[in-house]
Structure formats: C-alpha cells, structure tokens
Amino acid sequence: MKTNTLYNYFTLVQKTILYNLRIIFANKFIWFLAGSIIFYLGLSVIYVFSNDVSRMSELYGTFIFSGILLVFYPSVFGIQNDQDARTIEILFGIPNYRYKVWLVRILLIFVIAYLIMLGFTFLSSVLIVKFNFVKVTTQVMMPVLFLGMMSFMLSTFVRNGNGTAVIMIIFGIFFLILQEPLYRSQWNLFLNPFDTPSRVNETTWAIIVMKNRIILITGSIIFLLAALFNLQKREKFM
C-alpha cells in the first residue's frame, strides 16, 4: 500500500512538472530562448576572435542579459497566457492554488534558466577564459532571480503581459541609469562581484557583495510572496 502511494505521488509530481514545462515552453518563449542563445553566441564569437577578454568579469554583463531574456517571457506573460487559454478558471478551483501550480511553475522557470546559463558559462570557461562556471552562474542568477520575481509580482497586479513588459523595461532602464552612481554600492542591482574596484580592499568588497546578494534574495522572496498572495484574489482574474 505504501509503495503504491509513493508511486502515485511520484506520478502526480512527474505529470505536474511535464504539464508546466509545456506551458513554460509554449507560445513566444522559444523566441526569447533563441534570442538569448543568439545574443550569447554572437558576443562569444566576437570575444574569441578579438582576444579582448582577459578576465571573467568582462563577461558578466553578457551572462546577465542572457539570463534576463530566459526568464522574461514566462514570468511576464504567464498570468495572461492562463487567462487567454481560460485555464486560470480551472486553476483557481484547485485547493491551495498558489502552492500547487504557480509555485511549481516559477521554480521550474528558474531551474531551466539556471541549467541553460550553466551551459553558457561552461562554454565561455572553455573557449574564452577559464573560471569557475558554477560559481559564476550562481552569482549571475541573483539579479536574474530578482528581476524575474519582480516581473511575476507585477504581472499579478497588471494582469496584462504587454503592460507588465513595458513597466519592466522602464524599471530596467532605471536600474541601468543607477548602475554608474551605485557602482560600488550594495544597492546596485547589477553589481559585478568579480570586478573588485582598485581602491577597495578585498575584505570590504566581499562584505559589499554579500550584503548585495542578501538584498536581492530578500527582495525576490518578498516579490514572490506578494505575487502568490495577490493570486488569491480570484475576483481580479475572473
């Protein structure tokens, strides 16, 4: 009896994951995936033949943008796709909706993005400049996670993919403008942990990076909880 229960549970989890994977990879996601790959490969080819890259820190921006492209569509347009397909009415009928459906889906989005980014960083570590690609991928995913969770949260308020995309682009430009003034600050969203400023010692820089990552992780958790809480307001989505 216990074996059958475990088997049924495993089958349910497997079907849930496969179902959500089909949703994640549906519609226009393939174009964002292709864009991320083309962007990464294009810059990588330039770096390989130009021999201008001597440090991994110079590749950090490329990895960040590629990661953002991977999570942008599913996090921004996920709610709208459910509404367009009228599956959101069914999903709201499932007990503990926020935990059984969207929590699994948002987790899969970032797991997939992490695995793809592992491939990107591994290729760069082999073809361009040697570095710890697992460590770099983990660091790159911090701002990607923050922006992805922010997109997900905003999509539950705006309830329109195009509107959410416009707001996120505005936020992205705002964060980029602040990147230079906040270059050495823990509040810099795009802080590059591998680019230690010349006038800052390594210990101080490590503390700044650690605080920055804590801020990003905390913000991501708050955005996720706010999004899941907002998804309980059924009347807004029906």
Total-model pTM: 0.85
- Across the range 129-149, mean pLDDT stands at 92
Alpha-carbon distance 111 to 22, whole Å? 15
CA dihedral 124, 127, 128, 132 (to 10 degrees): 50
The pLDDT confidence band at residue 54, using thresholds 50, 70 and 90, is low
pLDDT of residue 15 exceeding 90, the answer is no
Query: What DSSP letter does each residue of the chain carry, written as one string?
Result: -HHHHHHHHHHHHHHHHHHHHHHHTSTTHHHHHHHHHHHHHHHHHHHHHH----SGGGGHHHHHHHHHHHHHHHHHHHHHHHHHTT-HHHHTTSTTHIIIIIHHHHHHHHHHHHHHHHHHHHHHHHHT----HHHHHHHHHHHHHHHHHHHHHHHHHH--HHHHHHHHHHHHHHHHHHHTTTTTSTT-TT--TT---TTS-HHHHHHHHHHHHHHHHHHHHHHHHHHHHHTT-GGGT-
pLDDT exceeds cutoff 90 at 208: yes
Q: What's residue 199's pLDDT?
A: 81
- When pLDDT is cut at 50, 70 and 90, the band that residue 51 belongs to is low
pLDDT band at residue 183 under the 50/70/90 scheme: confident
- Does 235 score more than 60 pLDDT? no
Res. 17: pLDDT tops 80: no
Q: Which residue ranges make up each domain of the chain?
A: 2-236
Which tens digit of pLDDT belongs to each residue from 95-124? 655 566 788 888 888 998 999 999 999 988
Q: Please report the pLDDT score of residue 162 as a whole number.
A: 86
Least confident residue range of 6-20, 102-116, 175-189: 6-20
